[in-house]
Structure 1
């Protein structure tokens, strides 16, 4: 009986730790940026640049090698416009410049 109780305690501990690890891993796959281009289910964002007060185009971002990524979503994007500051959750990202990946969630942070 004591062996089963010990096994049960270890099992509950492992499952609890595994659940915490999944939550923190999900938080790592987030990118914030300024929207340079948006279409039905795609968004191209770049890292905010200090000292630049205007919205950059996709061509300007790529020519200056600014950290940027394009994300495709399974659903149509609504209420996202060029110039918005957004937060994108993603599950896959190709890190070439510009990066590209699959977005799972997008949240508006600030409008210009």
Structure 2
């Protein structure tokens, strides 16, 4: 009887732990906001704004000035995003190179 109780308790705690971890990962999404310097079918190059005025810089200038920027590759084709758009990118991994590169999971245009 006690064995069954402990086994049931252990099973319940295991399920709660798994569901709790899954929810935490969704709440801790990693996000970057910035300006699009380059875009193609599956990749976007985004750099952080330098001041209050939005300056549209070419990809080469962003790299040469060592501005915080990253390439984000997407599994699906990117549509509706253009150079100069201010965007918010969600991603799940990013390397520490300069500029960085990572795997984007979602992208939206900001006003």
TMscore range, shorter length? 0.7 to 0.9
1:6 to 6, 9, 14: 9
Are 2:42 and 1:41 equivalent residues in the alignment?
Answer: yes
Structure-1 residue corresponding to 2:66: 65
Between Structure 1 and Structure 2, how many residues are aligned? 108
**1:8-33 deviation digits (Å, cap 9, x = unpaired):** 553344234323322223x1x22111
Q: Residues of 2 paired with 1:48 and 1:63: CA distance?
A: 15
Of residues 33-42 and 45-54 in structure 1, the stretch that sits farther from structure 2 once superposed is 45-54
Of residues 69-78 and 45-54 in structure 1, the stretch that sits farther from structure 2 once superposed is 45-54
Residue 34 of structure 1 deviates from its aligned partner by 0.4
SS across alignment from 1:102? strand
Residues 75 and 49 of structure 1: CA distance in aligned 2, closer, same or farther (over 3 Å): same
TM-score relative to the length of structure 1: 0.80
* 5+ residue gaps, structure 1: none
Residue 56 of structure 1 deviates from its aligned partner by 0.9
* 5+ residue gaps, structure 2: none
Structure-2 residue corresponding to 1:98: 99
Contact 2:49–2:55 (CA under 8 A) maintained in structure 1:
no
